[in-house]
Amino acid sequence: MLNYQLDRTFAALADPARRTIVERLASGPATVSELAKPLPMSLPAVMLHLKVLEGSGLVASEKLGRVRTCRIDPKRLSQAESWVAERRQMWERNLDRLGAYLDQPQDDS
Amino acid sequence: MLNYQLDRTFAALADPARRTIVERLASGPATVSELAKPLPMSLPAVMLHLKVLEGSGLVASEKLGRVRTCRIDPKRLSQAESWVAERRQMWERNLDRLGAYLDQPQDDS
């Protein structure tokens, strides 16, 4: 389940327009037209990107009257961050162990 | 440039087989056949995944004789981690500011 979630989260983050949307929403909720304003594409194209972001769980939205407001769901962001951070830390620990091993006085016998 | 790199890094991480490879390499370098062993796919399929990982810069490899050895390049892992961590922290700061605002005594006038 987590595996499948990570597939969708990383795939959602693999596009610069979608990262721009996540970045904007990190500083607070925004309407679809506010999100579309800085993006060099049509509103339908922005809505497709939002659909991918919602599908991944990174973004949630609700419609009030005719206005849809989007916000970050931080859970998926944290999961992706943890996955990458844990692998990087694992790699560093492994490097430290190798360093400690190489620092040991070598036995010539 | 960083934007393009992030596209490739996140796209590379959006596949469970490629994450399994990154996870294995986080605990030290490995040959292509060591990486292929736990994966439920053919060696050519593993090599295609490795090509994507090398293209993203997450993995580097070198061939010595007939054996290709792969290792993590931690730079890309750190970049992806930083991007996600910064947006999550931005979101949390925004939430804190909202909390502080709501905690203020409200003026009824």
Say what the pLDDT of residue A96 is.
81
Average pLDDT over residues B69-87: 95
Sign (positive or negative) of CA dihedral A48, A50, A54, A55: positive
Query: Tokens in use for B53?
Result: 């990982």
Which of B19, B77, B90 minimises the CB distance to A6? B19
Say what the pLDDT of residue B55 is.
97
Say what the pLDDT of residue B18 is.
98
Per mean pLDDT, which range of A34-38, A83-87, B13-17, B105-109 is the poorest? B105-109
Q: How confident is the model at residue B101 (pLDDT cuts 50, 70, 90)?
A: confident
- Whether the predicted pLDDT of B106 surpasses 80: no
- Whole-angstrom Cα distance, residue A104 to residue B54? 33
Average pLDDT over residues B54-79: 95
Say what the pLDDT of residue A105 is.
79
- Whether the predicted pLDDT of B49 surpasses 90: yes
Other beta carbons within 10 Å of B101: 9
Higher pLDDT, B93 or B2: B93
Phi, psi angles (nearest 5°) of residue A70? -110, 150
Chain A nearest CA to B104, separation (Å) = 19
Using N-to-C axis directions, what is the helix angle for B43-56 and B2-13, rounded to 10°?
A: 150
Say what the pLDDT of residue A34 is.
96
Chain A nearest CA to B84, separation (Å) = 6
Instruction: List the single best residue of B91, B92, B95, B96 to mutate versus A (max A Cβ within 10 A).
Output: B91
- Whether the predicted pLDDT of B50 surpasses 80: yes
Contact B84/A13 with Cβ under 8 angstroms? yes
Render pLDDT for A32-62 as a digit per residue (tens, 0 to 9).
Answer: 999 999 999 999 999 999 999 999 999 999 9
- Whether the predicted pLDDT of B11 surpasses 70: yes
Whole-model pTM?
A: 0.89
Q: What single letter denotes the amino acid at residue B58? A: L
CA nearest to A23 within chain B: B87
Taking alpha carbons only, the member of B47, B28, B3 closest to residue B18 is B47
Which of A6, A15, A88 minimises the CB distance to B74? A88
Q: How confident is the model at residue A1 (pLDDT cuts 50, 70, 90)?
A: low
- Cβ distance B10 to A7 less than 8 Å, yes or no, reads no
